[in-house]
Chains A and B, each alone.
Chain A
């Protein structure tokens, strides 16, 4: 059980948040109303997706105070504390892509299939492009195609043809590229990676305990962030780390754990 601690906590968090949103529309609960684009917490605190708000701002729209305040609250929360936790603890797509990734590992597709090359920076290009297009077209363009909001809105207000987008993402992650959507394409995840560059909660690696089994790298959806494994003791400082804690779960040697960010680096002791 110990090896599934953070996985189970994440699933609980993802499902609980989704249920609160669904309950607000279906049964009039007042805890968390709206959806992941913008919501009202406890009927008082506005929350808003900073990326969506930036897209709206570049269209030249005059926005209400509530939504700017909401985006600031969310930015501060992830930027100072949570890191890119949105992707692994809140986003409903994560359950789909995690399943695809798990199935892909079980079926050993990555060992057989020749790697389909995509750059990790593709998402930042899409992020930039979405802002340019939003300004030119006069509408928040990613919000019109975002499978994340389609899935989430669909669960709350009715799915329509949106289910198709979810199947496409599942098949893409399963058949085309490991962690293809979350790790390479999604500009929403990219925006949270930028926001959480300097956040406090980080995975910390203790290289002296590491036996180089590489289980952490196998399960990690953003493998680059674990460049220090078995080399030096330091915090995982890259913003791309989603704080999913899967590496902490699978490490049998206790060489990984959550802690407060530290800039110190200590090379592994020579034995």
Chain B
């Protein structure tokens, strides 16, 4: 037997509708705020961090990595920092990552936001932590404010780099202004640079001329439609494409007319 009167039923549906209405209002404000704090691309994460999108999904904001860091490099974002609240980050100009060989910050992460495999080498399926595999960011040089490009001898970043001679090398060139000196220009190699920021910390200019940016921001991307034909390894990519993608070879016939003929042909005009 149905004991509900029509009015009770209406009241029930209306209260659900009111809840949905209020929720939609709340969702509007809430999602606007979340969208705003999520869009903070200028943030450097601890070693082994997943890419930024995955990282802020996984990170539970427990601070275990911060507590594990012996140099107080890592901080949790506070309200007012304009970063996703509670997530770990570091500011190399203040305290860089000192690249501990035992990487204490990564294995303590309970959520997998800092991934151990990404900073490990596998020797006979035996994992060994290797901080040099970390890719926290990429050092970028502003040549305008780097005094080495003025001809002043400075190799502070080169010497501060824990992978000296690999992540940063010095390139010599002649100083035409004086005629007898050399420029000692630092060059960063993106395939080696870990983004630890020791160069940024060591830079002698007022505002660092070499600084770490998140890799996604600092790097371009060629895309896979260019292949280095002179590199046999890169050339192999073509084979996989041939195997996996249905294709047909086309060959453009060379014109039999001479180039001059085609240039002087006015019939199409």
Residues of A within 8 A of B (CB): 24-25, 28, 33-35, 37-40, 46, 48-49, 52-53, 56, 59-64, 66-67, 70, 121, 125-126, 128-129, 132-133, 136-141, 143-145, 149-150, 153-154, 156-162, 164-165
Contacts and interface: CB of A to CB of B under 8 A. Distances in A.
Given A56-B58, A126-B26, A33 B111 contact: no
A30 B66 CA distance: 14
Interface in B58-94: 58, 60-64, 66-67, 75-76, 78-81, 84-86
A79 to B, nearest CB: 20
Given A24-B67, A64-B111, A161-B80, A35 B26 contact: no
A159 to B, nearest CB: 7
B61 A62 contact: no
B78 A38 contact: no
A39 B63 CA distance: 9
Nearest to A165: B79
Given A63-B111, A138-B53, A159-B78, A149 B61 contact: yes
B34 interface: yes
A28 B66 CA distance: 11
B85 to A, nearest CB: 5
B56 interface: yes
A114 B186 CA distance: 71
Contact of A61 (B38, B57, B62): B57
B37 interface: yes
Contacts of B57: 56, 59-61, 138-140
Nearest to A147: B79
Contact of B63 (A70, A125, A156): A156
B33 interface: yes
A123 B1 CA distance: 33
- Size range of the chain B interface in the assembly: 35 or more
B26 A33 contact: no
Contact of A64 (B35, B78, B112): B112
B30 interface: yes
A62 B22 CA distance: 32
A40 to B, nearest CB: 7
A63 B112 contact: yes
Given A64-B112, A66-B110, A132 B27 contact: yes
A129 B109 contact: no
Contacts of B31: 133, 136-137, 141
B19 interface: yes
B84 A48 contact: no
Contacts of B58: 56, 61-64
B34 to A, nearest CB: 5
Nearest to A150: B79
B78 A145 contact: no
A125 B86 contact: no
A145 B38 CA distance: 12
Given A136-B31, A144-B84, A37 B61 contact: yes
